[in-house]
Structure 1
């Protein structure tokens, strides 16, 4: 059976990142670490070359490829949340573990992977058929780092 798996490039920290994701997100786990049989340009014999893991049900492989290709915002995991508590929990786990905040619900973990912690209400607000309400929600979002659900709801109401 043909299958697609997302391959994510790390600078030697694929195992650490996979463990963090498995501890942080539901339906996530760490699988097999494939170890180098000999020294290689960015590591030593016995180091993990690749690590199989799952994040929120999405199969991934972490490749310890070295520093040549750092992560960019061209790829991100979008995590849809149902409450402020859930939004806060994931945001705080990523940012509080050496990551950093960005704008409009985006943050970056300490390994450079980008995340969008996105309350479902924001997606609904931006697609609201009432264009004035949608615009207010969009303008509110543009002022935020972590998304504030109450502020999005207030913007929708006007």
Structure 2
């Protein structure tokens, strides 16, 4: 147990330092850009672009995990990938001699991926909502996320093959459940509980 704690603290320290380093690099770059330009944007002044970054802990293969999500979210990109050696005393019971990190960007949001062993699993207490413009987009993300080991849930919830929870929701859905017409609200809410994937045609 003590070895595990040390390993966790070591990983936490390294990833924290990475984040600080990246922020400092961005700040330095932005400061240089500000010196060479008359722009008064917040980026040029050296502020942090994204204050909070979701970090996803997975078992292994940070780059493969990132590539999986980037194959679904087509507008994304892989921004960083690193592999680190664990000190001998930090290998733990799993005998893992290295860990990996990656940074991907999806929909203008950066996600950090930490592949550091099978110690933690995702659960429904944290999920990500995908706001979809129409039913076709709902169908696309639902099918993509539940394929190859994913899992359908209820009321628009599903899990991908890594066990991460998603809510795939058409934006029109919120108009229905918050309608000024109580009959519209009641029908939409009632029928939601009978669905897995959200089907707008059955809610209206």
TM-score by length of 1: 0.87
- Deviation at 1:132? 2.2
Task: Give deviations 1:25-50, integer Å, cap 9, x for gaps.
Answer: 143111211101346446334x52x1
The answer to whether the Cα contact below 8 Å between 2:151 and 2:160 also exists between their aligned partners in 1 is yes
Q: How many residues align?
A: 151
Which consecutive unaligned segments of at least 5 residues does structure 2 have? Answer: 1-46
SS of the residue aligned with 1:67? coil
Which residue does 1:156 correspond to in 2? Answer: none
Which residue does 2:22 correspond to in 1? Answer: none
The answer to whether the Cα contact below 8 Å between 1:26 and 1:56 also exists between their aligned partners in 2 is no
- Deviation at 1:71? 0.6
Spell out the pairing of 1:79-118 with structure 2 (5 A cutoff): 79-118=130-169
RMSD: 1.7
Spell out the pairing of 1:26-65 with structure 2 (5 A cutoff): 26-38=74-86, 40-41=91-92, 43-45=96-98, 47-48=99-100, 50-65=101-116
TM-score by length of 2: 0.68
Which residue does 2:72 correspond to in 1? Answer: 24
Structure with higher Rg: it is 2
- Deviation at 1:110? 0.8
Which consecutive unaligned segments of at least 5 residues does structure 1 have? Answer: 154-158
Bigger relative contact order, structure 1 or 2 (CA pairs below 8 A, ≥6 apart): 1
- Deviation at 1:67? 2.1
- Which has more strand, going by share of residues? 1
